[in-house]
Amino acid sequence: MLIRPATESDHATIKRVVRAARINPMDLDWRRFLIAQDADAGNIIGVGQIKAHNDGSCELASIAVIPEKQKQGIGSAIVRALMAKESPPLFLFCQAKLEMYYTRFGFRKIGVEEMTTYYKRMWRLVNAMPEFIRANVHVIVMKWDG
Ligand SMILES: CC(C)(COP(=O)(O)OP(=O)(O)OC[C@H]1O[C@@H](n2cnc3c(N)ncnc32)[C@H](O)[C@@H]1OP(=O)(O)O)[C@@H](O)C(=O)NCCC(=O)NCCS
């Protein structure tokens, strides 16, 4: 597996992988992405990005690995590579069931009092969405302080 910055020609695949993973399909500018590529087959097997927000915060986002390649350390490699090129703090949104997954990289769940403007607004919005309430999905915000 190779981890590399995305190029413009990866844009359609990034969108496809993120949509198939059923995570936030907004703000998928390829310039912010790192790609995991199968060293033999050459296809894209995972993606992830860092988003910069207007309140000055940065978000680890769009982490997705294609189903047939999950649980082989690819998601972890993408997260670590993105963290290595950023300075703390970094924030992320995830489903509550993924809290332990991100804890292993040094993220911790934060309460609303530690959220910047962007996360407060989005966290309230997302957790009020009827489809999330119906599916009993709870989204949390996590922070890496370095
Ligand atoms: C979450 C995701 C990126 C992890 O990538 P991955 O390459 O499968 O993960 P890794 O191989 O690095 O790590 C595997 C570990 O994560 C855990 N894990 C993976 N997905 C999980 C999930 N949905 N819930 C709980 N734990 C999960 C595994 O149990 C495994 O733990 P172990 O090492 O103790 O056995 C991947 O499952 C995925 O693309 N999911 C769909 C999209 C998504 O939910 N993205 C996260 C957005 S915040």
**pLDDT at residue 95, rounded to an integer:** 96
* Ligand 1 binding residues, C-beta < 6 A: 21, 23, 63-65, 70-76, 94, 97-98, 101
- Which of the listed residues 98, 107, 132, 144 should we mutate to test ligand 1's pocket, taking the one with most ligand atoms within 8 A of CB? 98
Using the atom order of ligand 1, give the atom closest to the CA of residue 46.
39
Quote the mean pLDDT of the chain.
96
Q: What is the dihedral of CA 47, 135, 106, 19, to 10 degrees?
A: 10
Query: Is the domain defined by 2-144 classed in CATH 3.40.630.30?
Result: yes
Full 3-state SS string of 48-98: EEEEECCCCCEEEEEEEECHHHCCCCHHHHHHHHHHHCCCCCEEEEEEHHH
**pLDDT at residue 24, rounded to an integer:** 92
**pLDDT at residue 61, rounded to an integer:** 98
Q: Whose CA is nearest to atom 15 of ligand 1?
A: 71
Low-confidence ranges of the chain (pLDDT < 70): none
For the segment 99-140, what is each residue's pLDDT rounded down to a tens digit? 999 999 999 999 999 999 999 999 999 999 999 999 999 999
**pLDDT at residue 22, rounded to an integer:** 92
**pLDDT at residue 96, rounded to an integer:** 96
Spatial separation of the C-alpha atoms in residues 81 and 95, rounded to whole Å: 22
Please give the model's pTM, rounded to 2 decimal places.
0.94
**pLDDT at residue 7, rounded to an integer:** 97
